[in-house]
Amino acid sequence: MADVFRKKSISDMNKAAKSSGLRRVLTPWDLICLGIGIIIGTGVFVFTGIGAAEYAGPGLMLSFVFSGFACGFAGLAYAELAAMTPVAGSVYTYAYSALGELIAWLVGWALILEYGIGAAAVSSGWSQYVANLVQRLGLNVPESLLKVPANGGWINLPAVLLVLTITSVLYHGARESAKLNRILVAIKLSIVAIFIILCIPAVNPANWTPFLPFGWQGVLTGASFAFFSYLGFDIIANSAEETANPQRDIPRSILGTLAVTTVLYVIVTAVMTGVVPYHLLANGAPIVMVMEAAGYKFGAALVGVGVIVGLAAVILGLLYAQIRLFLAMARDGLLPQKIGKIHNLYRTPHRLTLVTGMIVATVVGLVKIEVLAEMVNIGTLFAFIVASVGVFVLRFTQPDINRPFRCPAAYVIMPLAVITCGYLMLNLSGVTWCFFCIWAIIGILIYVFYGYRNSVLSETQIKKSEVM
């Protein structure tokens, strides 16, 4: 297995993408909506309260800034790679050309934690808002159908039904998914604006004291936790094969989305911790709680309904990215190639869509949200580090290749990306690291016993294609 680091040609990948059968229908506005639709989600609507109460207090504002910078460094790496290789698969595809097949497989395996498990985590947070709404309306729904087994229930049924519904939308095409996403994003941003405008007058600056109740270590630990809130900007790169002008639009969309969302996160956190003391915010629906504390019971109900609708955009984007990642891996032979077949009418990878939807629905129905969230963080950070190293390596190994977008000061920015993302990884819990190591071992075993032999770059597969 001496050739586990065999690489794919960037030019070959670009040629294959042009004949993939996917439709290039996504506009710059679609990309921006995709990025904001995913990033402004569970992080602000669910985890902001937990992050303030248990990690950083009002200092969570600084945690978001720190995470934003870490993502900005990685975002520059993604922008350069996506413009150079506008192919589905995101950093998995980039790693294949820069670092070799085994690393590509490992980062693709880790991205399942970001996309697939991330979709499950967001669905679980969405379900908490549904349960809150059910209680407010006085509907008689058995709690066993609203909770996972670890929390005393049978299955998280609302989350399961949502995942299956979105899977159906994705099955029918990228254009239809983009239209739905625009509507969901508009609702979500309206909710954030309502929250900020109504609650600012109720802010009590005394609640920001002490500003750093857990010290600077709490801010940095909070940054590791808050990192989940930036999940999604890299998914813009995953839409490259369905974007009309990926070399121009993807870099702009990635960097613009990061800037806008960082500002929004800081403002929302400032308002939230200014209205309600930070130690009271450990709540599954903190925005609703803050609205009620500010005296807007009707507004709280409105926000609760809006959040339920808005979080669906996050799940849509994550499932979309997971399916495109699997498509790239199947195309390379690291997953069964037949499962990546494109539907003749809808021009979508329909088999992968159905399989992915069923797997995510099963996970979200049975697993606790706390376990899911940290697994998403470590998988995403690992992917960001690989993307940054990939830019660095390609600058040396292929210096003359066409780069429509070049990361400024790459030899400074890329090491900073690795250092900041690596530090955030080290601040995650030991249990999370144990799970990640087990996950990586499982991935390596799958590669050894299936992917290595069935890869389109393997000698066996090359000989078969020559005979045919």
On whether residue 141 sits in a domain, the answer given is: yes
25-29, 61-65, 315-319 — which one is most confidently predicted on average? 61-65
The answer to whether residue 442 sits within a structural domain is no
CATH number at residue 289: 1.20.1740.10
In a domain, 352, yes or no: yes
pLDDT of residue 310: 76
Tell me what pLDDT residue 3 has: 83
Q: Does 259 score more than 90 pLDDT?
A: no
Mean confidence (pLDDT) of the chain: 82
**Confidence band (pLDDT; 50, 70, 90) for 212?**
very high
1 pLDDT more than 60 = no
Residue 440 is assigned to a structural domain of this protein: no
Question: Could you report the per-residue pLDDT of 286-313, keeping only the tens digit for each?
Answer: 888 898 888 887 776 777 777 777 778 8
Asked whether residue 439 is domain-assigned, the answer is no
**And the tokens for 134?**
């059910």
**pLDDT score recorded for residue 245:** 81
> Has residue 65 been placed in a domain?
yes
The string of pLDDT tens digits covering residues 102-114 is 999 999 998 888 7
pLDDT tens digits, 59-74: 999 999 988 888 888 8
Into how many domains does the chain fold?
1
Residue 1 covered by a domain: no
Predicted TM-score (pTM) of the model is 0.79
- Quick check: is 462 in a domain? no
Instruction: Give the per-residue pLDDT at 223.
Output: 85
Tens of pLDDT along 231-246?
777 778 777 777 878 8
- Calculate mean pLDDT across residues 407-432: 86
Mean predicted confidence (pLDDT) in 15-31: 73
Domain that includes residue 156, residue range: 38-427
Residue pLDDT, tens place only, 141-172: 776 666 666 666 677 888 888 889 989 888 88
On the question of pLDDT at 466 being above 70, the answer is: no
